Each structure stands twice: as C-alpha cells, then as structure tokens.
Structure 1
C-alpha cells in the first residue's frame, strides 16, 4: 500500500492569546489522506478546521506532533499545494487571463506558456470569452470559477479548500460543487475540504471527518460509499444520502451543542 500523501500524527497547534495565556486550536490530531482521495472536514464554528489546513500547507508550524506531506516533514510550504480560500484571492487590477496565469508566472514559467495554460483552464471552468474581463465585472460565481482555475492551473497534487463556496447563493453553490467534482475527477489530487455545510461534505467527499469542539481533534470518520461520478443535487434526494446525513449529524450535533454552551458561558 502506498504511503499517505498527507499525514498528521498527534499534531497540536498553540497560539499566544491577548491575555498572555496560550490558546490550543487543535490537539493530538491524527489524519491521513491518500493520493486521489477527497476528505471533507466538518466541526463547530471556530474549532480549528482552518488551522488544520494551515498546518498541512506549511503556513503555520505545528507546536507538537508530526505533519508530513509526501513523506517529508512540513517545515515550509510544500511543493504541489494549491490553496483555495473562503475569500477570493483574485487581483482586482488584473484581467481574468492574467489572474489565472499568475501562478505559473510566479513559478518561473514563460509568459506565453503561462497564458496558454491559463486560457486552457479558463475554458475548462466555463469562462471562455471572459479572458479580458476584470474581477469587478464578474458575478460572485464567475469569480469563484476564476479562483478555481487559479488553483488548478499549476496541477497541484494537494488541494486545500477552506469553505470556498460559502458566500455563494444556493443554486450557484450547487453548480460550483458539480464543477469541482468534474475538474478534480481523474486528477489524482488529494483534497482536504473544510465546510460548515454537512450536505456539501457528504456530496463531495470519500470520507467525512467530524472534529470536536475546540480544541479540535478527530472525533469520528465516516466513509461515503456513494458512487462516482456524482450529480450533487440528484444525490441529495437518495435514501443512502439521507441515511448517511443522519449518522454524521448525530456525531456533529453534540459538538455543536458543546461549542454553543461554551459560547453562552463566556458571554455570561
């Protein structure tokens, strides 16, 4: 069996707080993700889901434990990582074409080749004809397509996605979910997808990881045995989907309740 592409073992991250104490965001976190595997991470608000992505990406070092990518300890940003944030990372002063070409250009690819790659991905995400437009001329869904093309144009081995579709309306979000699955299929990229939307997690992933209330650690892992390819909206109507939803929600609900009780206590 091939070793996992991503491996966290006992990973812990502590931050200094404003009061001089130490805040533990994640604690003793164990998680593996293999090549070509799509893993969704759900948990209460503020439990440390985004911190987990930061550890894998090398943007934050672990305070304790092990974080490895492709068999090597993560000490800086690993090669082959694509990161899609909740907020669009598009540059408003650049056209769609130049935004998507920026990743290859930063990696030393010549301008003509970078633009050719960008044009190919712009077409793949359904924005052919909008190459010369600027971000302020695009809808929210179109900007997300630009961000997706920006992320995929470098052919990442690992996709880290931090609630990338949360700001979209319901219909556009469903379209982007289908688009993501279509573009990811056959790429062999490992995906960690953080979301608050349990429907989204089950519809997209091979496994759903439920994290505890802060400090976060893995509580449960649920396999998603739904066949691929998937049409997200059709999938949500099936008995298999609804049965799995009830199982995952039962695990997640208790952690959401704990987080809410702690919040009420702190407010008091």
Structure 2
C-alpha cells in the first residue's frame, strides 16, 4: 500500500433539513483510506456511518469541508467506485448471469463480452451452474453472492459496503465474510465496510475506526495486526483477537451508552 490516500475526508460535515429543523449527521469528519486498505467503521446506530459512504460515493454532497477521491473533489459518482448495500439490488426479472452482466453492459461492453466476464465472476463466487436461475429461486446467501459478483465484476478501485451481510444467519454470514476476503485479496481495492458487528469489523479489517454518537466524527482509530490470509471463524478464537476486541470495545461502549441515553439508537452487536 502507498502512503497516498485514494479516499480523503477533510472536516466533512453533512446536514439534512427535516420536519423539526436541521439535523447534522456527520461533523468535522476527517479520515484517509489508502489503496488496498480494508477499513471498517463502527459506531452507535444512527450515528452517520452510512452517510459517510454516501459522501464518498457522491450520492450526497458535503454541506461543508471536503471529500476527495484520488485527490480530486467529489462532484458526482467517482469512477471506480463499487457500492454494496444492505439490501441487494438484484433485478427479479433477470437471471443470475444477466444481473452480473448488467454492470459491464451499462459501461459500454458488448453483450458477449459482458456475459463472459459475468460468467467468470459467477463461478468465482461459487455459483457455477446457477447462471440461469432467477432471484426468487435463490437463498439469501446465494443472493448475496450475486450482489458481490455484481459489484466486483466492474473491478472497482474503491469498494463501499453498507452492512452487506447483516440480514444473513450466523453460519451464512461467516461464509460470506471469508468469501469477501478471498475475492478482495490481491485486487488492490480500498474498502470502507460499515457494520454494527464489532467482531465482523475486527475479523475483516486492517483498521477499525470508532465513530461518536451523532453528529458523528472519528473518535479513535485502531490498527488490526492480524496476519492475512484470515479465516474469520478461526481468528476470533485467538488471544490476539480478544485483546484487540477489548481495546476497541473500551472506546466504543462509551458511545453506545451515550446513544442509548439520548434515545438515538440501540448500539452495536456485542458478543465477547
């Protein structure tokens, strides 16, 4: 990884006008993400984690401060960004193959080329043989694999992920976490991964940032010195993981308590 960030937020603030006045979602938010870095973002419910992704993706403009991608101000959706939402964006009337091929087609690829690229990614996410299936014929985990292939087929330089596995059962979620690490390894893509699950954040990331109760800003940043490649189930049983978990949780629990006291959210998943 180089020292030059691919994503930078400089004192970024986002305000929304609501029925009761102006709501500040994030305030004076400053952070950098380097090429190839996997950054996980945790914080209390409603603190502005998803808003941060919206600023980076260009879906929302900053009210103040700067949001930079490759050193240039974000004025729209930057090239090279892949976004994986909590709810998948699979089109129900298209097959698995055509859902994955849609991205390359929208970017100008010929139909045959787009389908060939899609076929390769369908196999890579473990759905070989299901190319002709439709979304209603797939399990929740299989749909997430399609959504992952949809995102990665375009070879994004930046991958924004907003609680992508939160709706899955525990076993399927673990499998998808391992699958994500396997597919991301060696791509050089920078990842910002928003989650309420502190175990998930530490298992996946190179670095975890803790955000404050809304209006959110960065409270603390923790490097995760766990070697790669990782098996997420195995790494969670190690003494090193538990030590890191306790350190991050000591920072995070103050914000969770403050959020609950203010009635703004339910905090985060805490299982260790």
Q: What's the TM-score once normalised by structure 2's chain length?
A: 0.96
1:249 matched to 2:249? The reply is yes
**Cα separation, 2, equivalents of 1:147 and 1:221:** 29
Unaligned ranges ≥5, structure 1: none
The 5 A counterparts of 1:86-235 are 86-235=86-235
What whole-Å deviation, never above 9, does each CA across 1:170-208 have from its counterpart, x for those lacking one?
A: 000000000000000000000000000000000000000
**Cα separation, 2, equivalents of 1:206 and 1:30:** 18
Conserved? CA contact 2:55–2:62, under 8 Å = yes
Conserved? CA contact 2:41–2:193, under 8 Å = yes
**Cα separation, 1, equivalents of 2:185 and 2:264:** 43
1:106–1:228: structure 2 CA closer, same or farther, 3 Å change rule? Answer: same
**Cα separation, 1, equivalents of 2:61 and 2:182:** 33
**Cα separation, 1, equivalents of 2:264 and 2:199:** 27
Unaligned ranges ≥5, structure 2: 266-272
CA shift for structure 1 position 112: 0.3
**Cα separation, 1, equivalents of 2:72 and 2:124:** 33
- The aligned counterpart of 1:65 is 65
Task: Give the RMSD, CA atoms, in angstroms.
Answer: 1.0
**Cα separation, 2, equivalents of 1:2 and 1:46:** 31
CA shift for structure 1 position 17: 1.0
**Cα separation, 1, equivalents of 2:10 and 2:207:** 18
**Cα separation, 2, equivalents of 1:172 and 1:114:** 29
- The aligned counterpart of 1:52 is 52
CA shift for structure 1 position 3: 1.8
**Cα separation, 2, equivalents of 1:66 and 1:152:** 27
- The aligned counterpart of 2:41 is 41
- The aligned counterpart of 2:9 is 8
1:264–1:123: structure 2 CA closer, same or farther, 3 Å change rule? Answer: closer
What whole-Å deviation, never above 9, does each CA across 1:124-167 have from its counterpart, x for those lacking one?
A: 00000000000000000000000000000000000000000000
CA shift for structure 1 position 257: 0.5
Structure 1 SS opposite 2:181: helix
**Cα separation, 2, equivalents of 1:69 and 1:2:** 14
What whole-Å deviation, never above 9, does each CA across 1:223-250 have from its counterpart, x for those lacking one?
A: 0000000000000000000010001011
CA shift for structure 1 position 120: 0.2
- The number of aligned residues is 264
Conserved? CA contact 2:8–2:69, under 8 Å = yes
**Cα separation, 2, equivalents of 1:214 and 1:61:** 18
CA shift for structure 1 position 71: 1.1
CA shift for structure 1 position 264: 7.7
CA shift for structure 1 position 2: 4.2
1:264–1:159: structure 2 CA closer, same or farther, 3 Å change rule? Answer: closer
